[in-house]
Structure 1
């Protein structure tokens, strides 16, 4: 399963959760006096010669004592003689007795930005004459001629300068240095000439910030160094969602604690050194500047103006409270002491059930609540910790455990053993200044410090400005012991992570070395994620013969046998994976050790079936070999289809091998989801796929009277305790899950979000008596990986078709450290 990294790849600006206003206005009656919202100012000279402001603007005013929702409204503009209106959609609400600022197009001149706008449009308004309408819908005005003030849904209209499209008579013409503003009483007499006067441009937003063209650095302006009344803890509030989300805030004070200057999620964290008395309100906050690098540095004392937003990095994820929109930052001083970092102290329980955002925070009881109340704040890991994931050096990411005794594996990881126990001691760290390569089990010295962020799959993450020293733990790769008897047959599965012919030779060499040295050249090898010959190039190519040939040659060069191979090319674009890659499963086999039984007719769309050799016989075969299980069924939509092959070994012993790569977990909610337990949406399709595999294996078993030797293996993309695995195995009655035969603390083949877990499997039918089995740990726990999966191997032992089993036939593991 490839792991997407969400926040880094997001190119859109942060999304806000719109808080519903307490009052919804009804559509305005044509040519009636507006009793709630009016156009309070218009200015079209922004950015023109001699202008102070860079942008045109339209200002609205709420004349009532209740907030008014304008999220389905618009402001619309037409030229003085024009019949075509341009539209800017509104969002959010106008506070009681407040203003609402719509920023329009910019010109080439001007020196001063407007206050943070509540809505942003691109309309180039005339600096002399034009028409502005406030409309309680987002449908453009059409066909109203010069009588648009009486059109349906028009709440208010002002025509200025030389236009006949007005209420009463026209308001004064504009200039580059003058705007029209409604008189101080905000009266609406339905006569523009009476209601509006000309004067110096002066704009106010819903946060109450006012900037005047004759004093742009005056009180409340973007150059005013006076702290506003809103503090970070007011923005964060005592819950998961900000109590003032969607509102603009002005000159919020704090000290810059960290800066991110890469990717499309740039910005900085700042923290108020003056904490309030409420332990549930965080004192830290992220300021999102998009693809623009911030100009502040750590230790700067700043005042920040912007809009409060809640950013969700993925479906089902919690929201990160941040400041976005049109950011304005005033730097007051530099080199200030940073607020003291809070030591991480996790409670026992991970989280409560239900909607977390609807429940009060309990940081002394739940890890996710402890993290939420410190969101954006500097935290520090005060004790030495253990790495439970390898360092991802490309992104400088790693996971540690704050609870070293929690489900440890013998090699230093944290075992994921059930849905109810996600390992509450895990914590992700992203080193802003880079991290050295290190493997699972290494030690991270005390002192890692930085602000607490929230990102997609990883959930809460320490954006570390200081990383403790990492001491490598000496983890060793594993290998398979040679067989004790010549007739033993080894069968392995290996996800080779999007292997394509155009990959570097070094990748082929690494994978081939693993096949020869670590897996001991298995007799049959099922590969997952073999791409077509040109990899991710999406041009209709589906053949993978060059990819496979290059891999077989690399195995030969590493000292292995000359493998033969079988596979079925998929239809283009139908099997999921990387677009254009057309990944599929492939059988490699050593012709000196196993014979593939070819039965013609298998292709991308032909279903393999079980054939009884004679009506009264228990001898079975496949209708086609290789074949695919019911490939046209909708359960395989955008997913790989199981590859089935019939083999002979040790003389004429028959073996059926089914190679799989089931539907990935993409779309599942993260472990830190806003609703607990997290939704596992991908499981629905995977269980249906498991049913198809189960039914096919059962047909093999029924028609052979239980004598068919069957191995089901591959990347099943699910856990040994999952519904999908229980379905395939018939709750253990049809197939045995070999991972369950290992000691409980060794049941893993993959590391994700700091959890050592099982995605890859080998399952065997009861007809296979004596065997040895193991997971060969060579990738998942190591920073230097040839693949993100560890391979697995089962060895069918000869001379074990008897009861009771001889000692050498009893289950064991052939795997040892190198």
Structure 2
């Protein structure tokens, strides 16, 4: 043992955690009083004894004394400061972690990596949120530094094949189950909490976010996308190799890399493994690999052929007249250049004219005027717009924002069929139009706005358009969000997706509306587009497309390309463009990748675009016309 000693300061520990809103299995027990003289020998327990073989410590709520270990990292940031220490010897049991976190609240501990320490404190299980796993840590802690400059314990290498592909045991709450780190990914991570881990030449699968974090994969060969991400294509496979990276390095000396999907952290990235509310397991990096920018290109849409109508959908992420001009300019560039100035743009997340200011304002004319003006300034057409003001604070989203769906359209190429009477509460109906075509009773109009399925959620906006003498009905949607669903990394396995009950009901109403249009005219041109907040393999999409329903051209893409949004390192599909079945053979479809994979972006969603030659409508449609275009989506 070294001869030098430093006395650590006693903290509020578990009590501070409670004051900060942390959830503790036990509040605290008093830490043992400091011995005099300073103890130089370890106590009876080791870190692996405290950690145990399940997610919760067998010593939770108890005071423990003089746990030996080496400080591996210090967290000097925020209100959850502290340090990690690890036993370099261990017990050779893969189920028991050899690391612990010492919580010091808002005080930065007076230790540094390489210090040999004896730590005393109260064992607590900290949960960052309801339904999440817990972190075993010490509060009310005191410590003795026996010496510095020790070699750090060897980091666990995360080479391909290290993390099990199976994600978690199933059957309910996994909190008290014995860990099986060789079988399940969540058990592997839980068994290594607070220990040093190491990944080399890590590929970025989730871009740097505004909170200085990114996602890498330890399994680069598992479900890769052509652009370097990791595709999420099944509830049964959440992609166990995804891992979040944050940094403990001094921010003024080592700025966090601004990375896009497909970039690389070349060399070694390592640090203690932690667990947080947003994303689950995270490496708190003490060493960061060198950022290699692999130059991910932004996409542009193909040009439509003569006689094709182009329809796009774009979630513009809480755009309001209160947004700065740069936000309008970036979105306008994406519409004019990235999407190639579509004839019709179905918009989601348009806010009212003063954004989140909650003063009863519901109009969005200034918001839409500014967007249309920005598109024109970017070289696009002079778009007109249509929308319906919602009732104040009735449609969910950011409080005061009065989020809604809207249409932009180019009056030089397509006409909007205005039929008065549409408002926040009047439902649109399908009526017979000229020549037996299906028409709308009001245009624009909202689908069943009084139904409970739309409680605190955006109501779909239906619009009737005319293109080269042909009627086209477009419905823009923004279904209820996944907020409230249990996370992939939580205690409930498999996680409950409670929010999909409402989305399924919403999908049923939109499907019924589309069926009404097609019952009135089997050759009607129907497009259902927008942020459906669910996956192509979900029940929500099945309601819309199953049993001869709408056609989803996304399914014509290779499995690794079916995404337009990124969440926790998973490339996934939340936005969709569905068409009437008779349009399936004549529809070109693209996801224009300009946002989701990039740290610098105009929105968190990628826009999409359809190109098709509309059917002439009515029951007498010429069958030769239906087959005219083949599959333009294949070009």
User: TM-score, length-normalised on structure 1?
Assistant: 0.71
Report whether the alignment pairs 1:450 with 2:271. yes
Compared with structure 1, are the counterparts of its residues 265 and 808 closer, same or farther at alpha carbon in structure 2 (3 Å cutoff)? farther
Compared with structure 1, are the counterparts of its residues 805 and 385 closer, same or farther at alpha carbon in structure 2 (3 Å cutoff)? farther
Could you tell me which residue of structure 1 aligns to residue 601 of structure 2?
Answer: 785
Larger mean CA deviation between 570-579 and 487-496 belongs to 570-579
Aligned ranges for residues 171-182 of structure 1 at < 5 Å? none
Report whether the alignment pairs 1:794 with 2:615. no
> Cα offset for 1:292?
3.3
Contact 2:117 2:147 in 1 (8 A): yes
Could you tell me which residue of structure 2 aligns to residue 408 of structure 1?
Answer: 224
Aligned ranges for residues 392-431 of structure 1 at < 5 Å? 392=209, 394-431=210-247
Aligned equivalents of 1:632 and 1:767: distance in 2? Answer: 31
Could you tell me which residue of structure 1 aligns to residue 12 of structure 2?
Answer: none
Compared with structure 1, are the counterparts of its residues 799 and 305 closer, same or farther at alpha carbon in structure 2 (3 Å cutoff)? same
Aligned equivalents of 1:637 and 1:244: distance in 2? Answer: 46
Larger mean CA deviation between 529-538 and 587-596 belongs to 529-538
Larger mean CA deviation between 786-795 and 340-349 belongs to 340-349
Could you tell me which residue of structure 2 aligns to residue 46 of structure 1?
Answer: none
Compared with structure 1, are the counterparts of its residues 631 and 799 closer, same or farther at alpha carbon in structure 2 (3 Å cutoff)? closer
Of 539, 544, 564, which aligns to 1:728? 544
Contact 2:586 2:627 in 1 (8 A): no
Aligned ranges for residues 168-567 of structure 1 at < 5 Å? 205=30, 209=32, 211=33, 218=36, 227-324=42-139, 326-344=140-158, 345-354=162-171, 355-381=173-199, 383-392=200-209, 394-433=210-249, 434-485=255-306, 487-567=307-387
Compared with structure 1, are the counterparts of its residues 395 and 626 closer, same or farther at alpha carbon in structure 2 (3 Å cutoff)? same
Structure 2 unaligned regions, length at least 5:
1-16, 250-254
Could you tell me which residue of structure 1 aligns to residue 465 of structure 2?
Answer: 647
Could you tell me which residue of structure 2 aligns to residue 697 of structure 1?
Answer: 514
Could you tell me which residue of structure 2 aligns to residue 49 of structure 1?
Answer: none
User: TM-score, length-normalised on structure 2?
Assistant: 0.90
Aligned equivalents of 2:539 and 2:277: distance in 1? Answer: 25
Aligned equivalents of 2:221 and 2:459: distance in 1? Answer: 41
Aligned equivalents of 2:459 and 2:299: distance in 1? Answer: 31
Compared with structure 1, are the counterparts of its residues 812 and 385 closer, same or farther at alpha carbon in structure 2 (3 Å cutoff)? farther
> Cα offset for 1:724?
0.6
Contact 2:18 2:24 in 1 (8 A): no
Aligned equivalents of 1:10 and 1:518: distance in 2? Answer: 49
Report whether the alignment pairs 1:775 with 2:591. yes
Aligned equivalents of 1:294 and 1:812: distance in 2? Answer: 63
Compared with structure 1, are the counterparts of its residues 241 and 330 closer, same or farther at alpha carbon in structure 2 (3 Å cutoff)? same
Contact 1:608 1:623 in 2 (8 A): yes
> Cα offset for 1:452?
0.5
Give the match's secondary structure for 1:384.
Answer: strand
Could you tell me which residue of structure 2 aligns to residue 568 of structure 1?
Answer: 388
Give the match's secondary structure for 2:164.
Answer: coil
Q: How far does the alpha carbon of each residue in 1:237-287 deviate from its partner, in whole angstroms, 9 at most, with x for none? A: 111111111223333332221222223332221212231243321111122
Contact 2:471 2:525 in 1 (8 A): yes
Larger radius of gyration: 1
| Number of residues of Structure 1 aligned to a counterpart in Structure 2 | 605
> Cα offset for 1:707?
2.5
> Cα offset for 1:421?
1.3
Compared with structure 1, are the counterparts of its residues 538 and 323 closer, same or farther at alpha carbon in structure 2 (3 Å cutoff)? farther
Contact 1:10 1:265 in 2 (8 A): no
Could you tell me which residue of structure 1 aligns to residue 574 of structure 2?
Answer: 759
Aligned equivalents of 1:329 and 1:607: distance in 2? Answer: 68
Compared with structure 1, are the counterparts of its residues 811 and 287 closer, same or farther at alpha carbon in structure 2 (3 Å cutoff)? farther
Give the match's secondary structure for 1:687.
Answer: helix
Contact 2:71 2:116 in 1 (8 A): yes
Aligned ranges for residues 732-743 of structure 1 at < 5 Å? 733-743=548-558
> Cα offset for 1:700?
1.5
Aligned equivalents of 2:102 and 2:485: distance in 1? Answer: 28
Structure 1 unaligned regions, length at least 5:
1-8, 19-90, 92-116, 119-204
Compared with structure 1, are the counterparts of its residues 289 and 624 closer, same or farther at alpha carbon in structure 2 (3 Å cutoff)? farther
Report whether the alignment pairs 1:669 with 2:486. yes
Aligned equivalents of 1:391 and 1:710: distance in 2? Answer: 38
Contact 1:711 1:762 in 2 (8 A): yes
Contact 1:750 1:759 in 2 (8 A): yes
Q: Which has the higher contact order (CA 8 A, sep 6+)?
A: 2
Aligned equivalents of 1:263 and 1:586: distance in 2? Answer: 41
